[in-house]
Structure 1
Amino acid sequence: MRLVLFDVDGTLVTARGAGRVALMRAMEAVYGTAGPVDGYDFRGRTDPRIVLDLLTAAGLPEAAVRRDMARCFARYVRELERLLADGARVEALPGVDAVVRRLAARDDVVVGLLTGNIEAGARVKLEAAGLWPYFRVGAYGSDDEDRRRLPAVACARARALTGREFPFARVTIVGDTPLDVDCARACGARAVAVATGFHAAAELAACAPDLLLPDLADVDRAVAALTA
């Protein structure tokens, strides 16, 4: 049995910047500043890491940032729900709906998430796209701010769900950033990169993933590749 773990933003869906806007509003409401947002690269980073980086760069003590982080993320989820309420801003990327449905219907695959989003944020985005019910397990930024530690969380949850062991050699991590590839490489999982986010295919190829796809639009090819 294989565990296939998907990133969210830029891999499964686009929310057209709603997550960034919601997080900025939440930080401004709770901490009084969002920090140096314009010069910061959000791609592939966990939500807690983003908050820590931006606010400590703005001069706030790390302890103070951590103390109010739960309140910040509660505000973030409310802002995100408002932004995505009409469903128009979130869109599943090419082939995603069919690929996820096909994988979820198989008895030799567990479909899950490995994302820097906090769990509640991932749920809001994927519910808006109609995808949330297909993911049986997940590891989130709310589990650990270090993305490299999330595969072990996902494997433990898959084991608790199925009673089966999931060594990293039986795990596929799918994402659209170099940090997704790095996450897979760090634990020995199979790395599949998709050029549907903000990184060009050449940039992803330089990270040497096991497989690089332009997108998931070729559903048969994608399903075969993800279950190989």
Structure 2
Amino acid sequence: MELIVLWDIDHTLIENAGVSKEIYAAAFTALSGREPRGPARTEGRTDRLIMRDMFSRNGVTEPGWTAVEKALTAAGEARLSELSRRGTALPGVREILREVSVRTAWVSSVLTGNIAANARVKVSAFGLDSLLDLQVGAYGADALQRPDLVAVARVRAQRLRGARHDVPVVLVGDTPRDVEAAIATGSESIAVASGVHSAEELAAAGAQTVLPDLMNTPRVLGILETLAEPRKRPRTSSERPDTR
């Protein structure tokens, strides 16, 4: 039973305690010479879109992406210790990542709007990097829109880990954009109400399963094992998402 599990990072695996928005602000200031008028708008967007929006809202011409990515990387690296001090891995995350990592037929990585360098900063700050196959992840520099990241991760899993072209993909995240990316790409989804969006909002977005958090390791693992089954029974329109 093969499976590709792609985890969102912020508010799904970790709580960044505001450090993430400080990274965007610092990158903006480094490139524009002034502080932004307001915080970055994130909520599941890719770094490309987040920074583009910041420049637009502040009336600043958007620099080339190479310069933006360099500024984001520098800002993230500078805040590793601050993130370690203020943030935390969310409850249950370490346990479920450990369980998934030992399934030899599974690939467990990330699908995140963060650029690869800052994704690594965020998971390594709490020692989660060794539990994830970051080489096959999909990151904010890989595509503009989140759904397009799914194909990036799938191709990397095929090329680097020998995954079949039709292996099921599961997106685990805390925003409607995570759910929408799963629906748009025919992937499975597990939504986690550990961010700003309620279980009701995530179910309304179309999530197949909605959990309050990732604390119940046997339950999360059982859901993933079911999704890995080669002939999973399709859900009918009359069935409601699992929000327990």
- TM-score norm. by structure 1 comes to 0.91
Task: Name the structure 2 match of 1:110.
Answer: 107
Partner Cα distance (2:120, 2:29) in 1: 23
Segment drifting more, 205-214 vs 177-186: 205-214
Is the CA contact 1:34–1:55 (under 8 Å) kept in the aligned structure 2?
Answer: no
Partner Cα distance (1:140, 1:58) in 2: 25
- Counterparts of residues 89-128 of structure 1 (less than 5 Å): 89-128=86-125
Task: Name the structure 1 match of 2:140.
Answer: 141
Is the CA contact 2:180–2:206 (under 8 Å) kept in the aligned structure 1?
Answer: no
Task: Name the structure 2 match of 1:152.
Answer: 151
The number of aligned residues is 222
Q: CA deviation at 1:93?
A: 0.6
Equivalent residue for 1:129, pick from 126, 137, 148: 126
- Counterparts of residues 1-228 of structure 1 (less than 5 Å): 1-33=2-34, 35-38=36-39, 41-61=41-61, 65-67=62-64, 69-85=65-81, 87-136=84-133, 137-167=136-166, 170-228=168-226
- TM-score norm. by structure 2 comes to 0.85
Q: What do residues 70-97 of structure 1 show as CA deviations (whole Å, max 9, x unaligned)? A: 2333233333233231521231111100
Partner Cα distance (1:122, 1:162) in 2: 20
Partner Cα distance (1:147, 1:26) in 2: 21
Partner Cα distance (1:223, 1:124) in 2: 26
Is the CA contact 1:13–1:92 (under 8 Å) kept in the aligned structure 2?
Answer: yes
Partner Cα distance (1:94, 1:218) in 2: 9
Partner Cα distance (1:180, 1:37) in 2: 24
Unaligned runs of 5+ in 2: 227-244
Q: Secondary structure at the match of 2:218?
A: helix
Partner Cα distance (1:213, 1:142) in 2: 29
Segment drifting more, 212-221 vs 52-61: 52-61
Residue 102 of structure 1 aligns with an amino acid whose one-letter code is E
Q: Secondary structure at the match of 1:139?
A: coil
Identity, % of aligned positions: 37
- The CA RMSD over aligned residues, in Å, is 1.7
Going from structure 1 to structure 2, the CA distance change for 1:182 and 1:36 (only over 3 Å counts) comes to: farther
Q: CA deviation at 1:35?
A: 4.5
Q: What do residues 161-184 of structure 1 show as CA deviations (whole Å, max 9, x unaligned)? A: 2223243x6000000000000000
Partner Cα distance (1:207, 1:125) in 2: 27
Partner Cα distance (2:96, 2:120) in 1: 19
